[in-house]
Structure 1
Amino acid sequence: MDGEDMAPEGGDSKGRDSAAVRARYAGAAQAFLELAGQVPDQAWPRPALGEWDVRALTGHTSRALTTVETYLATPATGERVAGPVEYFLAVRDAASPDAIAQRGRETGEALGEDPAAAVRELVQRVTVLVRNTPDDALVATPAGAMALIDYLPTRTFELAVHTLDLARALGLPPPASLAPAVAASLELAGAIGSRLPAAGELLLLLTGRTGLPEGLSVL
């Protein structure tokens, strides 16, 4: 999928290409499944990201699937959230790093003796659910009620970032099916960053001025 086919991920659902949003989410879920299936049995306790081992990182990533299922089944109340940018701005400081780390460990343990099989079953179940749910179905998120088609880009973002994390931890290349989700997530990250007080510093970071390996820049 090239840039001309990509609808903006940061706007509201009126300007969003529903088929593209759904395809990116499904592709990211399949990429996560593909990578989880390549984890050797002995690698699940391997350090992965911060306090997480590979199992905990996989558990945390799986929440980009389970939250869709859970939030669709929960009555949506509260103020309507306009889109994915507003969602991320609302939840940026909602949970402490310690709470997030612990939840990842717990979710990882809940994957059981065969985490890859658990991920496979979860991906199959949730992608079917999403496929059979209309765009305007309400999702009860921590930030407020959202249309499913506005919430999915936030889950694609989580799948893209943490599947990349998992690939790095395993020393494997990211699956090719992740590429559209990565491109859309970069766009969403830029939209979020533009609304932050540190927008200028983020732009300098992306253009290789500071904090990045030499030669790594969007220019």
Structure 2
Amino acid sequence: MDENFRTVRDAFGAAARWFAETVHELDRPPAPWEATALGEWSRRDLVGHTSRALLTVEQYLRPGPSDSDRRSVDYYRAVRGGRADPDEVAERGRQAGRDLGADLPESVDTVVRRVTAVVAGRTADARVETPVGEWRLEAYLPTRVVELVVHTGDLRTAGGLDGQAPETAVRQALVVLGGLVADAPSDDAPHLLTALTGRSALDAGYTVL
């Protein structure tokens, strides 16, 4: 197996398991799943949204290989270009949370086991058909690691939980985010350069996503 794909796959598995562990940690009395978590999302909504980082892998995989040369950063570029409706994104998260049912930890465990097993049986060049184009699995999967790491962190913050993401998952997420920094718009590049070298500060809320 390609060593890079093995690293990506291991990072995805580690991030998925951390997500499941976090949901179990949050499921303690009084387990306020309807409490606010992030913006307009409740904890349940955010669990639902985060679960889509797994479910979309399963949903978008197709038979056969792909010869796509698109990179992980190209996925984010395509999503930005598609101007996804924030209200639709929010509602998909809420619906995914409802679809997980009453027992969130058990449902998330089931999703994690099923999707990681699916990924384990596919090759780096497996074809992934997304609403914004085709990717090889080895290029799409890192974007799911980013989503899992970032939003599981959001869940832990909302629940007042300590603990860091698995290093392999963090490293993979940083590879993607580093690529996005290098791919930043020309107007942002000079400021990013000075900020990353400690010579200025980024504006509150700035994101490369």
Taking the TM superposition and a 5 Å limit, the aligned residue runs for 1:139-218 are 139-176=128-165, 178-197=166-185, 198-207=188-197, 209-211=200-202
**Of 21, 38, 55, which aligns to 1:34?**
21
Gaps of 5+ in 1: 1-13, 214-219
Aligned-residue RMSD, C-alpha: 2.4
Scaled by the length of structure 1, the TM-score of the pair is 0.81
CA distance in 2, matches of 1:136, 1:202: 33
3-state SS, counterpart of residue 37 of structure 1: helix
Aligned equivalent of 1:217 = none
How far did residue 122 of structure 1 move?
0.2
1:108 is aligned to 2:92: no
The residue type paired with residue 6 of structure 2 is A
CA distance in 2, matches of 1:53, 1:200: 37
> Percent identity, aligned pairs only?
42
Q: From the superposition, tell whether residues 211 and 46 of structure 1 become closer, same or farther in structure 2 (CA, over 3 Å).
A: farther
CA contact (8 A) 1:81 1:87 kept: no
CA distance in 2, matches of 1:207, 1:63: 35
Gaps of 5+ in 2: 205-209
1:137 is aligned to 2:126: yes
**Of 86, 89, 103, which aligns to 1:97?**
86
How far did residue 81 of structure 1 move?
5.2
Matched residue count: 197
How far did residue 148 of structure 1 move?
1.0
3-state SS, counterpart of residue 42 of structure 1: coil
Scaled by the length of structure 2, the TM-score of the pair is 0.85
How far did residue 175 of structure 1 move?
4.7
